[in-house]
Each structure stands twice: as C-alpha cells, then as structure tokens.
Amino acid sequence: MVFFSKKPKKFESTKKKDIPGGLWAKCPGCGELLYSKKLKENLQVCTKCDYHFRIGVRERIDILLDSGTFQEMCKNMQSEDPLKFKGPTDYPSKIKKDQKTTGLKEAAVVGEGEINGKRIALGATDSRFIMGSMGSVVGEKITRLIEYAQRERIPLVIISGSGGGARMYEGLLSLMQMAKTSAALERFNRAGGLFISVLTNPTMAGIMASFASLGDVIMAEPKALIGFTGPRVIQQTIRQELPEGFQSSEFLVEHGLIDMIVRRNDMKETLSELMDYLEIRQESGRES
C-alpha cells in the first residue's frame, strides 16, 4: 500500500534580510534588551534598572557642559616610552591601538567650559584607554588643569573613570604622578579653590589613592566600583568574606568615604547648584 503518492515539495531556503547591528543593547544590570536610540536619549542609563553604562570622556563633556563652551587644553601631549618596555605588546603599539579605538591622544582630557553659564576647569579620564591608568601625560595634564583653575580662580571638576592605577610601562615616572597631582591640589586648596571630584564606574587604584579622593565634595554615579584594589584580591589576601556590596558607591556613601550619589541625568544641575552654594559660603567666609 502506498501511503505517499506525491513527492514532498522542496522548500527553497531564502536568505535572511540583514539586520543592522547596534540597534539594541543588553543591560549588564538587569539583562533587559534596550533600543540603542532610546538608551542614548537617556544618557546611556537603563530605563528599567537605572544601570549606568560606561561612556567616554567626549560623551561626558557633551552631557555636562553648555553646548560649544569646551576649550581643550594640552590636547597634543602624548606618552613617550622611557623604559622601552617589552612584553606581549610593546608600549607604543598599545598606545596606538587605544588611540585608534577611542579617538583620544591619551587617557585624560582637560580644558575649560561652562555649566549653566558658570566657568569651570574640567578634567576626565577614560577607562577605555589603557584602563584609564595614570602615566606621566595623564598626571601632567591633571596637574596643569589644577594650576589653571587656581590662576583663573574658577571651580575645578574632575571626573574619574579608571580601572588602572600607575602605568607600569613607565615605572617610577608613573608612580610620581600620584604625589604630583596631590601636591597641586594642596596648593589649590590653600589658595581657596573649590574641587568637586566625580567618581564613575570604575574608579580604582592610583587615581583613587590620589586626586580622586581629595575633593571638597566627592560624588559618585550609582553602583560604581570604587576602591584601591579589586575585591577578589582583597579577599584572597585577608582570607575573609567581604561585606555585601563592598566597594560600591552605595556602600561607600553609607560608610562616609563619599558625600553623595548622583544619577547621570541629574549631574549637571547638581554640580551647578553645589557651585552656587559653596561659592556663596566661600565669599561669606572671606567677608567675616
């Protein structure tokens, strides 16, 4: 008995239409699939769980400063290779690779701009450029920015985004930048300058152990990783369980290391209000 008298039809495979990449982004915080355009409109902050995506220094400048007011300083400074460092990748090659990836000359961008019409000296480090580590150029740019703010008598804001500390490719020249930037801030403080430090995810190691922790006001974005060395290394060293949320901005504001947590969407207005308030206090102090 023949059950099938007809040959089955052949189904011709059709090519899938190409879907453009980059239309969607998955949130690392909650796993939600986010439409990239909407995510950008919300300043790269998840609309469901408020996770703050990492962003580059140019995006930060655009978010914080009044449009068209930023004037970059020291923009052509580049690192040398003082140790002729040899490893799986040599230092000059690593710099060139990250320059191409980020469009930056170095991990720090500094300059002057305005927030709601108020002049400020602004610096920012970018974790995409050799983990935002502090080499001699980063330290020099931050120091020159501090000195510029002191000369011009304007508030100083530094936004730290660094997963790395002193840059091992430069040895002692890198380590000394911690002392140099800290000394410049001490002079700035004695001259009556206002320094607001903004910590983002991540702010670690040598940068956190130097200028990032020396603000008159220290604020952080939500759920940022902040500390000197990573929690895994600490746990292996002291052989103890660490508290839940250790080294998060929420844990650190509760324990007094930082002053406040500010969402990215509120950062510009918060900085503006703080500068107004603290400058009035400074003027009152001078009069008395």
What are the structure tokens assigned to 244, written together? 């839940």
The pLDDT value recorded for residue 283 is 52
32 and 171, same domain (yes or no):
no
Report the relative pairing of strands 217-220 and 260-261 from DSSP bridges. Answer: parallel
Is 3 contained in some domain? no
Check pLDDT > 50 for residue 285.
no
Instruction: Please report which confidence band the pLDDT of residue 167 belongs to, taking 50, 70 and 90 as the band edges.
Output: confident
Note whether 25 and 111 are same-domain residues.
Answer: no
Dist. CA 156–CA 177, nearest whole Å = 18
Structure-token match 């690192």, residue found: 79
Say if 5 falls within a structural domain: no
Residues contacting 105, CB < 8 A, separation 6+: 75, 76, 77, 78, 99
The tally of domains found in the chain comes to 2
Same domain, 43 and 93: no
* Contact of 79 with 137, CB cutoff 8 Å: yes
Q: Domain span at residue 253?
A: 55-287
pLDDT number for residue 245:
66
Q: How many helices (H) and strands (E) does the chain have?
A: 9, 9
Q: Are residues 60 and 46 in the same domain?
A: no
Round to whole Å and give the CA distance between 252 and 176: 27
Token pair for 118: 């108020």
Cα separation, 53 vs 28, in Å, equals 8
Question: Per-residue pLDDT tens for 116-156?
Answer: 999 999 999 988 888 878 888 999 999 999 999 999 999 99
Contact 248, 223 (CB under 8 A): yes
Joined together, the tokens standing for residue 156 give 């100083």
Asked if the structure places residue 15 within a domain, the reply is no
d(CA 142, CA 41): 30
Averaging pLDDT over each range in 26-30, 211-215, 254-258, which range is the top one?
A: 211-215
CB 52 within 8 A of CB 262: no
End-to-end CA distance of the chain: 110
Q: Are 48 and 139 members of one domain? A: no
Lowest mean pLDDT among 25-34, 100-109, 187-196: 25-34
Does 212 lie in the same domain as 73? Answer: yes
Residues 128 and 39 both lie in one domain: no
Q: Per-residue pLDDT for 229 more than 80?
A: no
Query: Are 165 and 65 in a shared domain?
Result: yes
Which residue in this structure is represented by tokens 């947590």? 261
Residue 196 covered by a domain = yes
Residue 104 lies in a domain: yes
Question: Are residues 125 and 161 in contact, defined by beta-carbon separation less than 8 angstroms?
Answer: yes
pTM flag (> 0.85): no
